[in-house]
């Protein structure tokens, strides 16, 4: 089926604000959800009439989104494939037509699989599917389903060149893939007592080296290798302490593994923290040991805070961290390399400080929220203009 052969709907207006619907699964803490919240807060509301759709209207980010007074419609379903889910898709399609929505932008496998067919059926002029990882958490059937669904989209928006390359290797149309990297709000400057407060809460003196991971705790984040590196660092004359900031379904297993490694009181699992800026101010080094990534917000946040970082050579990490300039890149799944990187930075304070300052500058220059919002707005307007100009509503290939 070719959506381009359909007549353009009345929503393809030539004047007035662009009616835009952002669709995501829920509002729990995660990199994708954080980017949507950043975008919602940054979009020019005189140019975009913004709507939100979700499958679950819940999560810590919901209050922040609601503070922007954006209409949010929920489409609850416990499966993507049962009759209820198709009824909910029809409900979304009616919403899109009744509100004459110009652009639908969905994020991730579940949101894409739900919203893209609904937007296509509603003849929404522009449909954008965001893919922000390389699919390691998906089953083979899910990867095949996403590929078929994304054929209905006009544009595939990714957050790293690495994701674009992976999609092309999977047979996605290269001309439909567009890269816009994550943008972050720089961490607010921590007050001068923040680091002391955080360390005191952990029972740590100011001069004890503290190394942290800021991450959701799932099997693809490689936290086991971080713990193994932490155990190896115990042989140092002044063993560092280790902080794991974040939560997830893998936490209990990781806590048990830390105990088996004999880490005892040298590692702290903090769970999710709302005072991330304060916690970062207490760290000496930030580590991202992921086995798979798109482009990590937590890595960018650590860099923006001026921390020397160690990250694995996966996904978009090398696009953020220039090895030997803004941090250290190591192979994934290599606890020894992580430990050597930690030791190098702990033993070379000037090098660590130079990496941290270079990292701060790189994020400010290349990964600002302002740049992400500006590029996304430009993409929206360009796609819609070309849809309106194309014969019979057909989007010209290769010009996304």
Q: Are residues 124 and 266 in the same domain?
A: no
Q: What DSSP character marks residue 333?
A: T
126 and 20, same structural domain?
yes
Distance in angstroms (rounded) separating the CA atoms of residues 311 and 317: 7
In a domain, 400, yes or no: no
Q: What is the CATH number of the domain that holds 268?
A: 3.40.50.2000
Same structural domain for residues 270 and 147?
no
Residue whose pair of structure tokens reads 């803490």 in the numeric block: 29
- Residues of the domain holding 141: 3-183+368-393
The 3-state secondary structure of 244-290 reads EEECCCCHHHHHHHHHHCCCHHHEEEEECCCCHHHHHHHCCEEEECC
Is 399 a member of any domain? Answer: no
Looking at the fold, whether 226 and 362 belong to one and the same domain comes out as: yes
84, 139: one domain: yes
Run of H or E residues at 48:
strand 48-54
Which CA distances in Å does 398 have to 1, 163, 173, 286?
Answer: 19, 18, 9, 40
Q: Are 43 and 84 within one domain? A: yes
Closest CA to 329 of 296, 367, 305: 296
Residue 398, domain member (yes or no)? no
For residue 386 the two structure tokens come to 């070309």
Q: Tell me the C-alpha distance between 367 and 287, whole Å.
A: 19
| pLDDT at position 15 | 67
Q: Please count the structural domains in the chain.
A: 2
Same domain, 225 and 324: yes
pTM, whole model, 2 decimals? 0.87
302 found inside a domain: yes
Q: What pLDDT is recorded for position 16?
A: 87
Q: Is residue 189 part of a domain?
A: no
- Tokens 């309106």 found at: 388
pLDDT single digits (tens) 22-70:
999 999 888 899 999 999 999 999 999 999 999 999 998 999 999 999 9
Instruction: Please check whether residues 372 and 351 belong to one and the same domain.
Output: no
Within a domain: 188: no
Walking along the chain (400 residues) 10 residues at a time, the average pLDDT comes out as 42 74 93 93 96 96 93 94 95 98 97 97 98 90 95 97 96 96 82 90 94 94 97 92 94 97 95 90 97 93 96 96 97 98 97 97 94 97 93 48
Signed CA dihedral, 361, 365, 366, 372: sign only: positive
**133 is a domain residue:** yes
Residues 385, 359: one domain?
Answer: no
pLDDT in tens, 137-176: 899 999 999 999 999 999 999 999 999 999 999 999 999 9
Query: So what's the pLDDT on residue 103?
Result: 98
Question: Do 349 and 233 share a structural domain?
Answer: yes
- Residue 150 and residue 256 share a domain: no
DSSP conformational letter for 188? P
Q: Angle, nearest 10°, between helix axes 335-347 and 223-232?
A: 50
pLDDT confidence of residue 371: 94
Judgement on whether residues 169 and 220 belong to the same structural domain of the protein: no
């Amino acid at each position: 089926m070719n959506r381009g052969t359909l007549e353009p709907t009345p929503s393809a207006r030539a004047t007035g604000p662009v009616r835009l619907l952002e669709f995501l699964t829920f509002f729990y803490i995660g990199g994708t959800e954080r980017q949507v919240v950043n975008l919602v807060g940054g979009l020019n509301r005189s140019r975009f009439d913004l709507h939100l759709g979700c499958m679950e209207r819940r999560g810590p980010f919901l209050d922040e989104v609601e503070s922007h007074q954006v209409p949010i419609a929920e489409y609850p379903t416990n499966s993507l494939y049962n009759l209820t889910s198709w009824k909910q898709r029809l409900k979304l399609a009616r919403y899109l037509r009744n509100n004459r929505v110009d652009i639908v932008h969905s994020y991730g496998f579940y949101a894409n699989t739900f919203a893209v067919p609904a937007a296509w059926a509603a003849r929404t002029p522009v449909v954008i599917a965001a893919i922000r990882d390389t699919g390691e958490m998906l089953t083979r059937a899910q990867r095949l389903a996403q590929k078929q669904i994304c054929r209905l989209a006009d544009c595939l928006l990714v957050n790293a060149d690495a994701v674009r390359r992976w999609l092309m290797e999977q047979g996605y149309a290269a001309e439909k893939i567009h890269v816009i990297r994550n943008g972050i709000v720089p961490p607010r400057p921590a007050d001068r007592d923040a680091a002391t407060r955080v360390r005191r809460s952990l029972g740590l003196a100011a001069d004890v080296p503290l190394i942290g991971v800021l991450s959701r705790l799932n099997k693809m984040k490689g936290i086991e290798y971080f713990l193994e590196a932490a155990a190896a660092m115990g042989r140092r004359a002044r063993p560092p302490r280790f902080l794991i900031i974040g939560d997830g379904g893998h936490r209990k297993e990781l806590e048990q593994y830390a105990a088996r490694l004999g880490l005892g009181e040298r590692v702290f699992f903090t769970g999710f923290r709302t005072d991330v800026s304060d916690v970062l101010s207490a760290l000496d080094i930030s580590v991202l040991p992921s086995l798979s990534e798109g482009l990590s917000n937590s890595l960018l946040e650590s860099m923006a805070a001026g921390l020397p970082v160690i990250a694995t050579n996966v996904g978009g990490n090398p696009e953020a961290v220039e090895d030997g300039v803004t941090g250290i890149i190591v192979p994934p799944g290599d606890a020894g390399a992580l430990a050597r990187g930690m030791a190098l930075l702990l033993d070379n304070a000037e090098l660590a400080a130079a990496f941290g300052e270079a990292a701060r500058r790189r994020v400010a220059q290349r990964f600002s929220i302002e740049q992400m919002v500006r590029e996304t707005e430009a993409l929206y307007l360009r796609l819609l203009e070309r849809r309106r100009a194309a014969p019979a509503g057909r989007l010209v290939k290769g010009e996304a």
